[in-house]
Amino acid sequence: MRIVFFGSDIFALPSLKALLTTKHEICCVVTQPDRESGRGLHLSFTVIKSHAQASGLKIYQPQNVNTAEAIKLLKDLSPDLFIVIAYGQILSEELLGVPKIFSINVHASLLPLYRGAAPINWAIINGDKITGVSVMKMAKQMDAGPVILQKSVDIACEDTAIDLEEKLSDIGAQLLSDALKSIQNGDYKLIPQDEKKVSFAPKLKKKNGLIDWGRQAQNIYDLIRGSLSWPEAFTYHKGKLIKIYKARIGPEDILCPGCRRGEIINVSPEGLTVVTGNHNLTIEELQIEGKRIMKVKEFIIGHKFCVGEILGER
C-alpha cells in the first residue's frame, strides 16, 4: 500500500521505524515545520523529520496541512492510506477523505477513554492502573472514529509519563503492523466507540503542574509522575519556583500533630519530608529556577531548607 505518514512527536517514531521494515511504500512523511529554539534561536526540527531524512524519505512540512495547496499535493501522491500519530495538527474532513482506503490513527489510550492531546499524562495524574493503545479509523470528530485494534497495559506505580510513553509507543508500533495486515487482507473490523464512556485528556497547561499540598499524598505523587516532561510539578519556597521531579510517599513514622499542609517536617540527605492532606511525601529530586535538577543530598548543600517552613507560599 502507498502510505502518507503524519507524525512529529517521539511517540510516533517506533511506528515509523516499524513501517520501514514492511513492503509498504511510504510516499511522504508529513511533520511539523522547523522551529526556532534556544537562546540562539537555532532552527530545530522534529525527531520524525530527522529519521525520515536519514531514511531517504520525501518530507513535507506545511504550516497548515488543510490548505488547498497541501490537500492537492497529498492527493497527487495517490495514497491508499494516511497514518497519523502524534502529528500536532487536526486534519480536516476533506483531507481525511483523500486516501483510497481511509485514514488511521494510533492513540495512546483505551478509547473512548481520554480523547485528546495528553492521554498518557492524564491517565497517570488521575491514578489509573490500566491504560493502552488504540488504532482507529479517523473521523471528523477528534479521536471518535471506530476502533480497529486495541491493547491494554498496566501502569506501574513508579511509571512516569516519559516511561509510559516509551512503553505505549512500542505497543503502538506493533498494533499498527497488525492493523495494516488486516487492512491489506480486508478482514479488519470497525468497532464503534461507546459514547456513554467518553472522557477527555486536554493538553496540559502550566497551571496544571501546581501542587496543592492539601491533597492526598498519592494524588501529589501521581501529579509529579504524570506531569513529566510538561508542565512538570512545581511549588514555591521563599517566593522561588521549585520543580519536583521525584518523590516517594511517606515515611509515616515521622509525625507532626497540628502541622500545616505543605510544612517541611524533616530535612535529610535522603529527602525533604512534607505534610500533605493525609500521609507525608518525601521529595527526592528537585530544581530551583535557574539551576539544574539535583538530588536533595546535593541540593541542600547550597540551598537552606528548615523544618517548619511552608512550601507553596509565594
Per the model's pLDDT, the better-predicted residue between 258 and 110 turns out to be 110
Rounded (10°) angle between helices 13-20 and 47-54: 20
Decide if pLDDT at 18 tops 90.
yes
**pLDDT score of 40:** 57
Least confident of 133-142, 188-197, 297-306: 297-306
Split at pLDDT 50, 70, 90, the class of 39 is low
**Distance separating alpha carbons of residues 73 and 70, to the nearest angstrom:** 5
The pLDDT tens digits of the residues spanning 255-267 come to 788 899 999 999 9
Q: Which residue has the cell 512523511?
A: 29
**pLDDT score of 255:** 77
The pLDDT tens digits of the residues spanning 145-189 come to 999 999 999 999 999 999 999 999 999 999 999 999 999 999 999
Pick the closest to residue 5 from 181, 186, 173, 141 (CA basis).
173
Question: What is the DSSP-derived secondary structure letter of residue 81?
Answer: E
**pLDDT score of 35:** 86
Cβ atoms of residues 46 and 12 within 8 Å: no
User: Mean pLDDT of all residues in the chain?
Assistant: 95
Question: What is the DSSP-derived secondary structure letter of residue 28?
Answer: E
User: Domain 2-197 carries which CATH code?
Assistant: 3.40.50.170
**Distance separating alpha carbons of residues 307 and 314, to the nearest angstrom:** 17
Helix (H) or strand (E) holding 239: none
Q: Taking the domains of the chain in order of start, what are their residue ranges?
A: 2-197, 206-302
CATH topology of domain 206-302: Methionyl-tRNA Fmet Formyltransferase; Chain A, domain 2 (3.10.25)
Interval 276-301 mean pLDDT: 94
Order of all β-strands in the sheet with 130-137: 59-60, 25-30, 2-7, 81-85, 102-107, 130-137, 147-154
Least confident of 10-24, 28-42, 193-207, 282-296: 28-42
Coil, strand or helix: which one is 162?
helix
**pLDDT score of 256:** 82
